[in-house]
Amino acid sequence: MKVVLAYSGGLDTTVSIALLKEKFNAEVITFTADVGQKDDFVEIENKAYKAGATKHVFMDLKQEFADNYIKPCIKMNCLYEDKYPLGTALARPLIAKYAVLVAKKEGADAIAHGSTSKGNDQVRFDLTIMAEAPDKEILTPVRKFKLTREWEIKYALEKGLPVSIEHKKYSIDDNLWSRSIEGGPLDDESNFPEEDAFEWTVSPEKAPDSPEIHKISFKNGEPVALDDEKMNLVDLVKMLNVIGGRNGFGRIDMIESRVVGIKSREVYEAPAALILIESHKDLERMVLTPKEYRFKRLMDNEWSDLVYSGLWYEPLRSELQALGEELNKYVEGDVWVKLYKGSLMIIGRKSRYSLYRKDIADYNKGWYPTEDEARGFIKLWGNHSINAKLIREKF
């Protein structure tokens, strides 16, 4: 049997190489994707070979991640449960898709990953593989054998596998769009996160004493420039992560509803994601009609739920996204943001599609309804409600 393993270089996937060889008599090809995480990819490749892989495949997928996953995320204001910008949830279907492509190219019989049975990633990996390669078997050693960290460390020592046996305080997953921190002292939901949990953001108390103001320009709902400098999305996200991080902005601490039926305490850093989503929402609010804007809020929530839940291949996800693309044709213009000690404020916006008209909104001059027009509108507007109140009070 030949197996392609989605390989991170961590304990779970390194142990999985040996278990796939031992329990399944498999030839293991490891696959690692660069989606913006801060890893030493040469070291990861070396670890794969030392653990028994016969071949290692590496791909830089940052641009595709930005263009085909982060970009629609921005356009759909992707905040799961109004807080989490879907960093890991977006990356998993991309990684799994390319693991399938590697498997097809290498003539592999199965695709493996290191997810556990308690997390969301197993759903995202499995469903993507089922959609892209229904004929391929899915192998999950950690899930199948119900492995614990203690067992894995003991096994790794016995087999001489290249893993660190030092206890990691937190479980970290990062990519271009977000950094997730969980486990350790954070498992107690009442514990305040310590500063050693954070890497991208400084403590708001230690942020500069003067605010930073930046202009973000959008076209068709996509951020295309920062302070009038045109940038591709990968570079723009990287820059905003630095800008937001040094101002102490971008931390998220939430109790999250996992797909598998449990609540989990999750801490994230996502400066660029939150800056871009809030800026995009503000521009939408100005250029869309009230009906469009309110309906899109419903669309955004449903799209985010589908992606979080691993349903990237659900037709409704692509259908909602197509309608979102249509509405984003008018999301064009500039948004000014002010970052200061952990806070973000939208302080200005401008668009040729703006539905705001100063000549109408100005109280001192311009258009005014007559008193008869105002009275007539109010009476008709509230007629159903007033009639219901008066009639129901009779009985």
Catalytic residue among 34, 149, 171, 258: 171
Catalytic residue among 8, 12, 143, 251: 12
Query: What CATH number was assigned to the domain covering residues 2-168?
Result: 3.40.50.620
- From residue 37, how far is each of 18, 103, 160, 178, 376 by CA, in Å? 25, 23, 27, 9, 60
The yes-or-no answer on residue 171 being catalytic is yes
Q: Tokens in use for 257?
A: 């509803």
Q: Tokens in use for 389?
A: 């109140």
Which amino acid makes up residue 192? F
What is the spatial distance between Cα 20 and Cα 247, in angstroms, rounded to a whole number? 46
| Phi, psi for 261 (deg, rounded to 5) | 90, 15
Q: Tokens in use for 262?
A: 């449990």
Per-residue pLDDT of the chain (395 residues; tens, 9 = 90+): 999 999 999 999 999 999 999 999 999 999 999 999 999 999 999 999 999 999 999 999 999 999 999 999 999 999 999 999 999 999 999 999 999 999 999 999 999 999 999 999 999 999 999 999 999 999 999 999 999 999 999 999 999 999 887 768 999 999 999 999 999 999 999 999 999 999 999 999 999 999 999 999 999 999 999 999 999 999 999 999 999 999 999 999 999 999 999 999 999 999 999 999 999 999 999 999 999 999 999 999 999 999 999 999 999 999 999 999 999 999 999 999 999 999 999 999 999 999 998 888 887 777 788 999 999 999 999 999 999 999 999 99
What is the spatial distance between Cα 371 and Cα 377, in angstroms, rounded to a whole number? 10
Beta-bridge partners for 252: 268
Q: What CATH fold (topology level) applies to the domain 173-350?
A: Argininosuccinate synthetase, chain A, domain 2 (3.90.1260)
Q: Tokens in use for 164?
A: 């660190």
**DSSP assignment letter at 27:** E
C-alpha dihedral sign at 301, 303, 304, 309 = positive
The yes-or-no answer on residue 352 being catalytic is no
Contact yes or no for 181/192 (Cβ under 8 A): no
Contact yes or no for 245/200 (Cβ under 8 A): yes
3-state secondary structure string, 155-198? Answer: HHHHHCCCCCCCCCCCEEEECCCCEEEECHHHHCCCCCCCHHHC
Residue whose entry in the numeric block shows the structure tokens 């007559």? 370
- Max Cα–Cα distance, the chain, nearest Å: 88
pLDDT at residue 193, rounded to an integer: 96
Q: What pTM was computed for the model?
A: 0.95
The yes-or-no answer on residue 121 being catalytic is yes
Catalytic residue among 8, 16, 92, 173: 92
Q: Where are the alpha helices (DSSP H) in the chain?
A: 11-24, 41-51, 62-65, 71-75, 87-106, 121-132, 141-144, 149-159, 233-246, 271-287, 290-308, 315-327, 358-361, 371-381, 383-392
Catalytic residue among 8, 121, 124, 300: 121
C-alpha dihedral sign at 115, 180, 320, 309 = positive
| Phi, psi for 289 (deg, rounded to 5) | -70, 160
The yes-or-no answer on residue 149 being catalytic is no
pLDDT at residue 360, rounded to an integer: 82
What is the spatial distance between Cα 290 and Cα 327, in angstroms, rounded to a whole number? 13
3-state secondary structure string, 328-344? Answer: HHHCCEEEEEEEECCEE
Contact yes or no for 233/222 (Cβ under 8 A): yes
Residue whose entry in the numeric block shows the structure tokens 């008209």? 357
- Radius of gyration over alpha carbons of the chain, in Å? 25
Closest by Cα among 12, 355, 299 to 163: 12
What are the residue ranges spanned by the domains of the chain?
Answer: 2-168, 173-350, 358-392
**DSSP assignment letter at 67:** I
Beta-bridge partners for 216: 226, 335
What is the spatial distance between Cα 383 and Cα 377, in angstroms, rounded to a whole number? 10
